Amino acid sequence: MKRPSPILRKDIASKQMLPKKDLIRIVKNKEGKIFIDLTHTAEGRGTYVKNDLQSFMIVKKHNLLSRGLKVRIDQNIYDELEKVING
């Protein structure tokens, strides 16, 4: 039996297609709340960031979360994302 291929999503920093399990998902739900979704199951518009510091720095420098979610992002979301990446 053939093994299923991994589910791929695009990292907004590098624009590479990577396995979903290697990425962190940031979501904007219908109420406009923005949060980090580590389960990858929350409803709403999501963007994916690779789980490393270099990708995080690119996302923060170029404000890529605002573009991907089409809304202004507060600094506390970036702080929370940095904590998740650093462990």
pLDDT band for position 31 (cuts 50, 70, 90): very high
CATH number, domain at 63? 3.30.1230.10
CA angle 81, 67, 71 (to 5 degrees): 80
CA angle 17, 32, 68 (to 5 degrees): 25
The confidence score (pLDDT) of residue 3 equals 81
Domain carrying residue 25: 8-86
Mean pLDDT estimate for the chain: 93
Residue 32: inside a domain: yes
Count Cα neighbours of 24 within 13 Å in the Cβ-side half-sphere: 23
Q: Is 15 left (phi over 0), alpha (psi -120 to 50) or beta?
A: left
Nearest CA-CA partner of 46 in 85, 79, 10: 10
Q: Judge if pTM exceeds 0.85.
A: yes
The confidence score (pLDDT) of residue 1 equals 72
Residue 2: inside a domain: no
Residue 61: inside a domain: yes
Residue 45: inside a domain: yes
Number of domains the chain contains: 1
The tens digit of pLDDT for each residue in 34-47 reads 999 999 999 999 99
